[in-house]
């Protein structure tokens, strides 16, 4: 695992869990191996969505599950990152949640069933 994502492998499910992250600073993508049972096409769709997001808005975007099994998408940036489009990022996340509702709902169902 790359240093940019160190510590994710030790995250406990009681605290919530990261499913995938795209990092525009390091040009890296991370997918949690605990979720390898998710169909390959869904994994690819998620990868494209996250990488595209960081290419458009910059920063780091993560998809994970909170302690209640609810899927979340959040974006962050390094301090003083003038290239990060915070407003655009927030709007794109809302758009994903609306347009990809079925994908996100199926990921929550998967999490409920297997974790």
Per-residue model confidence as pLDDT tens digits over 38-50: 999 999 999 999 9
Domain count along the chain? 1
Is the pLDDT at 9 greater than 70, yes or no? no
Mean pLDDT rounded to a whole number for the chain: 88
Please report the beta strands in 1-115, taking only residues with DSSP state E, as ranges in sequence order: 17-23, 28-31, 60-65, 71-76
Q: How confident is the model at residue 14 (pLDDT cuts 50, 70, 90)?
A: low
pLDDT tens-place string over residues 58-95: 999 999 999 999 999 999 999 989 899 999 999 999 99
Residues in the chain: 115
The whole model's pTM is what?
Answer: 0.82
| Domain that residue 102 falls in | 3-114
């Amino acid at each position: 695992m790359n240093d940019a994502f160190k510590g994710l492998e030790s995250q406990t499910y009681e605290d919530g869990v990261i499913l995938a992250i795209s990092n525009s600073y390091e040009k890296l993508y991370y997918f949690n191996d605990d979720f390898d049972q998710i169909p390959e096409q869904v994994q690819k769709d998620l990868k494209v969505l996250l990488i595209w997001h960081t290419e458009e808005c910059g920063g780091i975007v993560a998809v994970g599950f909170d302690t209640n099994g609810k899927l979340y998408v959040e974006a962050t940036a390094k301090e003083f990152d003038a290239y990060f489009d915070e407003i655009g990022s927030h709007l794109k996340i809302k758009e994903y949640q609306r347009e990809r509702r079925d994908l996100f709902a199926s990921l929550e169902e998967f999490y409920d069933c297997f974790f």
